[in-house]
Structure formats: structure tokens, C-alpha cells
Chain A
Amino acid sequence: MGHIELQHITKRFDNGHEALADVSVEFAEGSMTFLTGHSGAGKSTFLKLLLRADVPTRGRVLVNGVDIAQIPLSRLPRYRQNFGVVFQDHHLLAQRTVFDNVAIPLRVVGMREREIARRVRAALTRVELLGKESLFPGHLSTGEQQRVGIARAVVARPKILLADEPTGNLDPELSIHVMDLFARFNQVGTTVIVASHDVALIESMGLRMLNLQQGRVVDDVLAGADS
């Protein structure tokens, strides 16, 4: 699990807007790729289709060779358990502690509390937040909240990590730190796809970059290679 292929994907909404137009692209297992483009270019739609939070109007999304449109609804939760997702506004639950926020994916799969505690502490250690597990998100800085969101996304050791504008609310220094975290997860075999419009940051990473414009892939290059 981790190989992704989009074949001639078109996504047109009811209002006629075409978010993606005949997109064909492949992500190797264990690769790290940046999706870039202006707001409305189709980056979020792209990620939604991978999670099957939405379905394409035309084309197929294959994950490890399986057309995800064919996955029955009853098995969709199991499919999504292979993903970790990071958002710009991190979607943390304000009434739950850092520990409980990070533990959510593990409780969903019915893990024992002792193992949950071990895994949560490990994830928090990786994002340098160990010791803050009993705090509530409101007590953390924006950067810390984003790192809690990342810890939650990786705690269940997903095969694929998706991030939608993860550095949108962070200063440049924190943004680099977050990207480094993604790169470290990628190094242990996780397929990472990051949607971001921060081209300068992406170029500094020197990794594959897909440039989306009006729903089409206009560039598929190694970031920084032509500069």
C-alpha cells in the first residue's frame, strides 16, 4: 500500500466548475511529492479524491492497483485507516487533551490503552511535544497545534500521508521544521503528498513538484532543478 495512480481524472461539480481536468499522474510507494498551484487550482479536490471523500466525474484512482471507486462503503473506513491527513487548520478537538487528540486513530482501530499510550508518546516525541500531552489545544501555540495534528496523522503509522496547506498558518522557520518532519516520515517508507502554495519552501526541499493550474497538471518537475 502506498502506490497511487490517477488515470484521466476529471472532477466537475454540480455548478459546472471543473476542479480537475483529465489528470493522469502516478506516485511511487515511499515517494514524497508536493502539489502546488493557486487557490482553486484543484489541490484540495485532488486530496479528497485520494481519501475517497469525493468521487471523480470521470477516470479512476488506483491505490496499489485497486480502483478505489469499487471499494464498498462498508470497507471504506478500513481503506482510510491507511491514510494520515494534516490540515492547515489542524482540526484538533478543543475539548480533548493533546493525548486524546493524538490517540483518536488508535482508539478507532481498537488498540489497547497501554499500547495507545506508548504510541502517542512516541508520536509526540517525534514532533517534540512530549510533556504537553495533558494540555488542551487552546493552551498551545499555532505551531504546536500543527505538530499535534501531524502527530495524530502519523501515530497509526499510515502508508500514505496527505497534507493540505500544512504550513499555511506558520512562520517560515516553523514551516521548514514541519516540512522536515514530513521528510523524516517519508524516509521510513511513508508515501507523502503535500499540497502547498509556498513555492519557495517547496523548492528548498528539492523534491518532486506537481504544478496544478485550473485543474490541469502543467508541470511535473523536481523542485529547484531548473533554478
Chain B
Amino acid sequence: MRDHRRVGSESIHFVSARLGTSFLVWLVVGIALALPAGLWILQVNMDEMSAGWQGRPGLTVYFDTQATNVEVDATAKYLTEHAAFDQIDLTSAEDALAEFKVYSGLGDALNLLGENPLPWSLTARFVHSIESSILDSLKREVQNLPGVAEVVVEKTWLERLNDISSIVSRLGIVLAVLFGVGAILVTASSVRLAIESRLDELRVLKMVGATQGQVRRPFLYFGAIYGFGGGVIAAMLIAIMLMVIEPPLQSLLGSYQQELNLAGFHPLFLLTILAVGSALGVVGALLAVRQRLRDLELF
């Protein structure tokens, strides 16, 4: 334990004395970790979004801008009385415009238009999940009602979202493996340089009877420090990425009446990314040490 404390403190001193080089290693490892971790966050959020919609798919009906109140009411009544739906939300053209002004930030430009370009719309939620064949026939039915311009089935959106989430998930795994190997190689290469600069010390340690563990220890600490630092950089990069994408994502979700609750970036995620970074660093260091110390001549 004493030796761990001493070697740990020496390793921190060694790395901090070469802050420029160490920062570059942290940055490369951080980028390598941030890409798959960022994709994981993305996938988690897509799953959250689809989970929010799952079980209550619905239809959004857009009326002609010329549609009369009678036509809108008739369509709303038709859907309210339909057994497949349990919730109908009607949005007036004025409300839609007000909402659009808020989310788009184009309020001033929209004020210049003489008239409201947006139609009435109506969102109807299904009681249960619904088969796609029934969904299609319902869509056709509603589409043929007077005053209806377009019917959008949210289920389609959901299916696409699930497909994209699945692609992101698999891409994340592939990238995690590739960039994980990259992080290991970068750390191995940096630790290899540290070994070369301390060959005299290694010879002395082996000569006085240090165990393999004692000889390897400082370099494993280097690897862990490089990996841990990479994890910190990765967490920072992801935090920045989330800050950058939050406003447009909020706007996008707002248009679907969804609240933005970014998920995944929690303390456990941070701990995991730091632990994974450290572990990859240690693996890289082990590779470098194993390779270099095997052939080390004592004198």
C-alpha cells in the first residue's frame, strides 16, 4: 500500500511535469471515448423519446387553411366518438401560429405576413397500440373527411425513430470497439515513451530484485492517469455537445409537443466513462510494458 501511494504520487508528478504531452494524450483518448459515449447518450435519448410515445401512437390531422369551423368540429366529433381514440386535442390556427412564433424565433417575420399561413390541427391518441393495417385504413377514412388536408401517423415516426435508435446503438458498439482499441494504442505508445525515458531505472529495479509488479506499477499508473484524463476530456466534450444540440432539439421536440429531458448524462455515466477510460489506459500500459520489459537486458 505504501509503495502504491509513493508510486501513485510519483506518477502524477511525472505526468504533470510533462503537461503538454500529457494533455495531447488526454485529448486523443478523450475524443476516442467521447464518440461512442456520445452515441450511447444519443441512443438512450432516442429510446426515451420512443418510450414516451410507445403505447399511445396517434394521428395528427392538418386541416385546409380554408376549412370551416363546422368541418373541423365534425372531424373532431368523428374522432371523439371513434372507439380507437381516447384523447383528442384541437389546436386552432391562432394557437399554432403563437406556438410557432415561440419555437421558431421568427415572430417578427411572421408578423409581417398579412394572414395566418397555419391551419387548424388535431391530435388524436389511440387507446391501445394498433396494427399497421388498421392504422392505414383509419388514416384513409380521416383523410376523406371534408376540410382535412393531411393526416400524419405518428406510428411511422416512431418506427423510424426505433430503426434509427437501433442503427445508432450498433454504430455505437462498432465505434466503441474501434475507438477503444485506438485509445489503448495511444496510451500504449505514450507509456512506451515513458518506459524508454526510464530504462535505467527499470534496470536498477530488476537488478535489486523488484518483482514484475513493482517494475510495471509506475507505468500502469501512467496508463490509468492517461485514461482517466481522457475520460474527463470525453465527459467535457459530451457536455459541450449536449449544450450545443439542446436548443435545436428543444425546438424540434416542441413541434411534436414533447418536452426535452436529456437523459443519460448522470453521475453513473460519468463514473463509467472515467472507469472505462482508466481501464483502457491500464490495458494499453500493460501491452507496452509487457512488450518492452520482456527483452530488457540488466547490464
Contact = CB atoms under 8 A, between A and B. Distances in A.
Contacts of A104: 204-205, 208
A78 interface: yes
A178 to B, nearest CB: 18
A44 B299 contact: yes
Contacts of A172: none
Given A51-B298, A79-B209, A87-B299, A107 B204 contact: no
B6 interface: yes
A212 to B, nearest CB: 17
A93 B218 CA distance: 15
Contacts of B207: 51, 53, 80, 83, 85, 91
Given A91-B204, A93-B201, A110-B3, A105 B298 contact: no
Contacts, number: 58
Contact of B203 (A91, A107, A112, A156): A91
A91 B202 CA distance: 11
* Residue of A51, A108, A164 ringed by the most chain B CB atoms within 10 A: A108
B220 to A, nearest CB: 17
Interface in B108-162: none
Contacts of B210: 77, 108
Contacts of B212: 77
Contact of B200 (A91, A108, A109, A110): A91
B297 interface: yes
Given A107-B6, A110-B2, A77 B204 contact: no
B75 to A, nearest CB: 82
Contacts of A164: 299
Interface residues of B, number: 19
Contacts of B214: 77, 108
B299 A80 contact: no
B211 interface: yes
B299 A81 contact: no
B209 A78 contact: yes
B205 A108 contact: yes
Interface in B193-223: 200-201, 203-212, 214
A104 B201 CA distance: 10
A126 interface: no
A51 B6 CA distance: 28
A93 B211 CA distance: 19
A105 B208 CA distance: 6
Contacts of A3: none
B208 A156 contact: yes
A150 B288 CA distance: 32
Nearest to B210: A108
A160 to B, nearest CB: 12
Contact of A93 (B200, B206, B297, B299): B200
A48 interface: yes
A53 B3 contact: no
Nearest to B213: A77
A53 B297 contact: yes
B209 A80 contact: yes
Contacts of A79: 209
B208 A80 contact: yes
A91 B6 CA distance: 22
A136 to B, nearest CB: 14
A44 B207 CA distance: 14
Nearest to A93: B201
Contacts of A152: 208
B237 to A, nearest CB: 34
Interface in A99-150: 104-105, 107-110, 112-113
A35 to B, nearest CB: 15
Contacts of A109: 209
Contacts of B211: 77
Nearest to A153: B208
A81 B210 CA distance: 8
B298 A81 contact: no
Nearest to A73: B212
5 contacts: A44-B299, A53-B207, A91-B200, A104-B208, A105-B208
Given A44-B299, A53-B299, A80-B206, 12 more contacts: A77-B206, A77-B212, A77-B214, A79-B209, A81-B208, A93-B204, A104-B208, A109-B209, A112-B2, A113-B2, A152-B208, A156-B208
